[in-house]
Chains A and B, each alone.
Chain A
Amino acid sequence: KQEVTQIPAALSVPEGENLVLNCSFTDSAIYNLQWFRQDPGKGLTSLLLIQSSQREQTSGRLNASLDKSSGRSTLYIAASQPGDSATYLCAVRPQGGSEKLVFGKGTKLTVNP
């Protein structure tokens, strides 16, 4: 059974710092991996999707990498801003025709001005 773990559970950094959020998954047979942002009481906003054949994806100040064989992904945020404060969720879609996403519990990021 696929399990997704995110470390750390919470992170507090000063504005301007570069940071890395970690995601690990137990079964490397994935179709893709998606990073989401969740603001309090709000829905999930898709940030980046990495297909299993890709090593990384970039969008603005965000860069996500994928090492499928070791079951790891990282989300790099450059020059963090207070507006980046949110919970970041990692989710994998297993191979084998499954449609579901399997989520980690998230990392709650606070960027202090």
Chain B
Amino acid sequence: EPEVTQTPSHQVTQMGQEVILRCVPISNHLYFYWYRQILGQKVEFLVSFYNNEISEKSEIFDDQFSVERPDGSNFTLKIRSTKLEDSAMYFCASSDRLATNIQYFGAGTRLSVL
């Protein structure tokens, strides 16, 4: 069964460093999303991406964050200068939207900012 793949599974970084989280969405999907879940809290929407541009973003998604689809398969989330409060599980999701509207999630990347 097709699945969303995220790498790495765990990323440890120092405060102020840049990180790139990678995702390979399901191959025929056109809509891509990033969410995050701080430990013990709700899953929160960050950004959605369609047709090579951001279609929607939340208040959390400030200038420190950016997304990119550098080639036909990868979808990345970059955090320019990490803060302690960026420590969370980051989930990538994809959807074909027109057919089922179901968002399929990856296993997540746990980001630890020290």
* Chain A residues engaging chain B, CB cutoff 8 angstroms: 4, 31-32, 34, 36, 41-46, 49, 51, 89, 91, 93, 98-106
Contacts and interface: CB of A to CB of B under 8 A. Distances in A.
A93 B108 contact: no
B75 to A, nearest CB: 14
A42 B107 contact: yes
A35 to B, nearest CB: 11
A43, A105, A106: most-surrounded residue (chain B CB, <10 A)? A43
A19 B58 CA distance: 35
B65 interface: no
Interface string B43-81: 111001010000110100000000000000000000000
Contact of B42 (A31, A100, A105): A105
Interface of B: 4, 6, 31, 33, 35, 41-45, 48, 50, 55-56, 58, 91, 93, 100-108, 110
A36 B56 contact: no
A93 to B, nearest CB: 7
> Which residue, of A31, A34, A93, A103, has the highest number of chain B Cβ atoms within 10 A?
A103
Contacts, number: 56
Contact of A99 (B33, B41, B102): B33
13 contacts: A34-B103, A42-B107, A43-B106, A43-B107, A49-B102, A99-B31, A99-B50, A99-B55, A100-B45, A100-B48, A100-B56, A101-B43, A103-B42
Contacts of A46: 102-105
B48 A99 contact: yes
B44 A103 contact: yes
Given A44-B91, A99-B33, 5 more contacts: A31-B101, A45-B105, A46-B105, A99-B50, A102-B45
B91 A43 contact: yes
A99 B91 contact: no
B57 to A, nearest CB: 9
